[in-house]
Amino acid sequence: MTEENDNNTSEKNMRRSLIWMAAIVLFLIVSLVMIVTRTRPQYQQTLQDVSRAGSAEFDGYKDKVKLEVIEKIEHPNLIGMSQYEVQARLTNQGDRVITGIEMSGRIQGIDDQIIRESISLPIPRLRSEPLKPGESMKLAVKIDRPGNITDADVKDLLIEIRGLKFE
């Protein structure tokens, strides 16, 4: 009977040890993910040979590209971080073929300061064909919210056309 009790006790101790080891491993994985996501620089992507604000080509055509925000979505994850997504429809109301679009997405704080900016390339990333006059396309710009910022610190999500490339 004592041999049976010793076996039960050692099995219980082994289970406790395994549970503790699993908890420690899980804690280390979550900690590592949090460290990597906080220290990872925001990936900035840009187009080459694109017209930007201040150039006559961009300023003369920007008003012919209609940008309509459809929805603003927050994607929280299990470790308390969030990513915002702004979905919009872009319509080429001008007479030129657009072969590249560079979008800027921004998180605006309650003090009107920009907290985070993200760059998106709907053309050529989402759509490989150019946007011809009269055509529309749906796009999304995603912005990672910094870990030290809460929803209460966010006033608005802004998107704008940052660059245009023509045929």
Same structural domain, 134 and 160 = yes
Mean pLDDT throughout 17-22? 90
When the pLDDT of each residue in the chain is averaged and rounded to a whole number, the result is 86
Domain presence at residue 46 = no
Sheet containing 65-76: order of strands: 65-76, 82-92, 136-145
Task: For the chain, state the CA radius of gyration.
Answer: 25
pTM of the model: 0.67
Domain presence at residue 126 = yes
Same structural domain, 150 and 79 = yes
How many structural domains comprise the chain? 2
Domain presence at residue 45 = no
Mean pLDDT throughout 14-28? 90
What token pair was written down for 31?
Answer: 């900690």
Same structural domain, 34 and 56 = no
Same structural domain, 16 and 58 = no
Same structural domain, 29 and 57 = no
Looking at the predicted structure, is the pLDDT value of residue 40 above 50? no
Domain presence at residue 138 = yes
Same structural domain, 9 and 78 = no
The widest CA-to-CA distance across the chain, in whole angstroms, is: 92
How far apart, in whole angstroms, are the C-alpha atoms of residue 19 and residue 160?
50
Same structural domain, 16 and 83 = no
Domain presence at residue 115 = yes
Summarised one tens digit per residue, pLDDT across range 88-147 is 999 999 999 999 999 999 999 999 999 999 998 888 888 889 999 999 999 999 998 888
Same structural domain, 110 and 72 = yes
Domain span holding position 78:
51-166
Summarised one tens digit per residue, pLDDT across range 74-96 is 988 777 678 999 999 999 999 99
